[in-house]
Chain A
């Protein structure tokens, strides 16, 4: 079930809110349990066997956490836990990739074996469980509660694609008394943020996603302009898709009085790659920093090791997104970008003009999205070559990809998306204005948010919005 589907918006969400608050009037624990059941139902819609995988992983991790907490063989148990999580993820996500790579490299015919269906949300689920085990081992979490742990993992607003959070902030919130009683300000903020995210997804990301399909299907036919157009369109598609999803998730959390962490902060306004990663998928960046980069040594072992750690962290981050060489190269490119960024900042060379720094960052990020989006590495490299060769403008034509009317729509959408991404305020600030002290501004913003919600509903008509969220695949 998608957050942007009518059945979620008009059936599941109102019913879940109503029952949670009704039960919450009498029992916090009852409301918590109901939300767990509702979240499981939300997940089951994607396939009951997936729930089983997640449930088994959950109970195994919790048991290990309890064992770790006893303080004996902590490192061994932690290693077992992390290995188990990585193996589960590897089995479902990377087995085919590994066997394909071996087959291609050595001419072997290692069979894929039976078909492996990637359980929805497993990447997010796994990272959160690894973080939980590490936090228990570091004694940041004491005496974890099973119900809270299930709630933390399964709470439907962040279940499928984050924001990646940790056990403690969620557990602390749901331990508060009368947490599941309606709070009008939270509801208002949540509705406004949900509306903004919904509009980003349906009115911008989905139409862009539909238009770029033929461009990425026929990369060998691209010329300079069409290749850049496709790259820009995808750059905005993925931003509005994922940030729209995150806004909806955080908004939904707030409707239930659960605060989820911020995931995006206008990343395309960044002036460096380092800043970009502080603004893009913030919860993943934090996870990679806290549970990978720092344990690898971070910047504590000299310059060379720091650069190596940065690159390795980003390569693993790339691989986390998907099992394919395109994702590995995407991560590598960002790792190298971060390393170069760090080196330049410390080299004593003059700072770049701000407009140039912004342009360089934006073009770099947009270019490497091509690696992320392309279905084959060869196709991605072809497109990147074309993007670097202005002479291909001579043979360029949009006709293999879209009709003239579609090109016009696409250009308008890219223009609007760019203006919003580069000039618009972050969604959370818009939502906060609806409950802010300036009454006039609050009411005006609320009116706009309502209009955005309606525009998104309109966007659902005509088959314009078909795409699931991009990050649901990871």
Chain B
């Protein structure tokens, strides 16, 4: 009997011992998990400031602007109210700060950046410029209203450089961004950090202060740099705007998709949370936040001439107002015809920038009094007005900033003169009037008819897009329009 009791007691002891060991093992599992998570957090912090997929030109643009804007603010009278604008690249390309300042009467700091980033990141760079009495104007791209999670670009750019301004964000947002960060991104950033610390090698030069200013001066002085790659310091003006005096690169024409946003009228909880956060931040600073329209660029499919498009915008404005973010001003004044697009349906060139900025400047003047009246807006009427605006801007209007605009203007004046001569003498002159010596000009007349052209294969496709009736049906190069101008009916095929 005693031996049986002893055996049973031994078994119990062994079982108890094993259970205790299993408890220790479970505790160590927890320790292993916590240590690994802490190590990962450590790596995330260690690799901050390194490239790993970030768009480094955004850092350059943000820091250059901050440097230039600090200098501008220092030159302004104390307590001068101003406009701080933040949004995506529609404003980076679309805003002409001097023009908006002139039209609105308030100095403007343009923090338009990149719609691939989230609202938080876009706003971060401007946060310490917002002061009491300022108007913070946000012509938010439509896709940013609907985005429901951090974009792919947000973590990469936050960890590379925007973390520097993160004091304006609640800590929870930092964790949200870390949650959206691929572990591969952290590992690659770590590799970059190690490479830099061990061998001094960086994938992208980190330029700060005067080095950055010199780089900007050097790059912006090179006219070819913009053509090669405008997403750099090369196209930044002293006012911090992106100034691209180019038409759509022909290779990009085919990829210019139909305007896809807004796909529907919605503000995602993610976007609303970010907007609300910034509303609170701006209120706390004693400034005021105003939402307005981004540049609305005509696409190749006539989307903006359809009432459904405007109905979506009306619905968006209604929802935004209900959420406490009324959208201000008349969206028609923000429309830019397609010949002034640059490389995407949101980016405009220097001429489109002027057209949008005139509308934006007028909007900003007394913006508080101009909420968009969605309750009485008629989508059919808006579609009609959109077409009228685009048609009115087809024939280039002043300022004539692009070569083909100036050419068309001169050709129109010459055609008028020729018509007047025909009315006077009964025939068209055999030669052009003196002083009409434009490069590439071509003129022929048999007295009864005439044809007046400029041979310009570089920009002719833009004319064919905007005013197909001005593109010469006879001359072409590589299957594309090569000359544009005016002619009488009988000379069309000359």
Contact = CB atoms under 8 A, between A and B. Distances in A.
Interface of A: 183-185, 187-188, 191-192, 195, 207, 405, 409, 434-435, 439, 442-443, 445-451, 453-455, 457-459, 461-464
A63 B23 CA distance: 45
Nearest to A447: B32
A183 B25 CA distance: 13
B29 A449 contact: yes
B31 A184 contact: no
B33 A450 contact: yes
A462 B156 CA distance: 10
B397 to A, nearest CB: 44
A439 B18 CA distance: 9
Contacts of B26: 184, 187-188, 191, 446
B179 interface: yes
Interface residues of B, number: 31
Closest 4 CB pairs of A and B: A450-B32, A462-B182, A454-B36, A450-B29
B182 A451 contact: no
Contacts of B8: none
Contacts of A464: 182-184
A67 to B, nearest CB: 45
A319 B229 CA distance: 54
A451 B35 CA distance: 7
Contacts of A188: 22-23, 25-26, 29
A455 B28 contact: no
A312 to B, nearest CB: 45
Nearest to B25: A446
27 contacts: A187-B26, A188-B25, A191-B29, A409-B184, A435-B18, A442-B21, A443-B28, A446-B24, A446-B26, A446-B32, A450-B28, A450-B29, A450-B34, A450-B35, A453-B32, A454-B35, A454-B40, A457-B37, A458-B37, A458-B183, A462-B155, A462-B180, A462-B181, A462-B182, A462-B183, A462-B184, A462-B185
A164 B427 CA distance: 96
Contacts of A448: 32
B32 A451 contact: yes
Contact of B182 (A195, A457, A463): A463
B178 interface: yes
Given A443-B25, A450-B31, A459-B183, 7 more contacts: A434-B22, A446-B25, A446-B26, A454-B37, A458-B40, A462-B180, A463-B180
A454 B37 CA distance: 6
B30 interface: yes
Contacts of A435: 18, 21-22, 25
A361 B19 CA distance: 42
B53 interface: yes
Contacts of A463: 152, 180, 182
A257 B28 CA distance: 21
Contacts of A445: 25
Interface in B13-70: 18-19, 21-26, 28-37, 40, 53
B188 interface: yes
Interface in B388-436: none
A442 B26 CA distance: 10
Contacts of A450: 28-36
Contacts of A459: 183
Nearest to A183: B19
Contacts of A207: 184
B446 to A, nearest CB: 56
B449 to A, nearest CB: 54
Given A409-B184, A454-B40, A461-B182, A443 B24 contact: yes
A453 B24 CA distance: 17
A188 to B, nearest CB: 4
Contacts of A439: 21
A451 B33 contact: yes
A185 B34 CA distance: 21
A454 B32 contact: yes
Nearest to A449: B29
A461 B179 contact: yes
B116 to A, nearest CB: 15
B18, B21, B29 — most chain A CB neighbours (10 Å): B29
A43 B434 CA distance: 87
A461 B180 contact: yes
B32 A449 contact: yes
Interface centre among A187, A439, A453, A462, by most B CB within 10 Å?
A462
A447 B29 contact: yes
A455 B25 contact: no
A205 B184 CA distance: 15
Nearest to A459: B183
Contacts of B182: 461-464
B31 A447 contact: yes
Find the residue from B22, B31, B155, B188 having the highest chain A CB count within 10 A. B22
A443 B29 CA distance: 8
Interface string B145-160: 0000000100100000
A312 B40 CA distance: 51
Nearest to A192: B29
A195 B31 CA distance: 14
Contacts of B34: 450, 454
B183 A446 contact: no
Contacts of A461: 178-183
Contact of A185 (B22, B29, B53, B152): B22
A242 to B, nearest CB: 23
Given A443-B28, A454-B32, A185 B37 contact: no
A185 B18 contact: yes
A409 B182 CA distance: 12
A98 B144 CA distance: 46
Nearest to A453: B33
B291 to A, nearest CB: 29
A138 B221 CA distance: 90
B149 to A, nearest CB: 8
Contacts of B183: 458-459, 461-462, 464
Nearest to A433: B25
A277 B188 CA distance: 39
Most chain A beta carbons < 10 A, residue from B25, B31, B180, B182: B25
B339 to A, nearest CB: 34
Contacts of B185: 462
A39 to B, nearest CB: 25
Contacts of B180: 461-463
Nearest to A454: B36
Nearest to B19: A184
Instruction: With a 10 A CB-CB cut-off, give which of A188, A192, A457 has the most chain B CB atoms.
Output: A188
Nearest to B52: A405
B28 A447 contact: yes
A457 B29 CA distance: 14
A426 B412 CA distance: 82
A337 B53 CA distance: 46
A267 to B, nearest CB: 27
A451 B29 CA distance: 7
Nearest to A450: B32
A59 B25 CA distance: 43
A455 B29 CA distance: 12
Interface string B312-338: 000000000000000000000000000
Contact of A405 (B36, B178, B181, B188): B188
Contacts of B33: 450-451, 453-454, 457
A392 to B, nearest CB: 29
* From A191, A435, A443, A454, residue with most partner B Cβ within 10 Å: A454
A447 B34 CA distance: 10
Given A409-B184, A461-B182, A187 B32 contact: no
A434 to B, nearest CB: 5
A207 B155 CA distance: 18
A443 B37 CA distance: 19
B18 A405 contact: no
A111 to B, nearest CB: 33
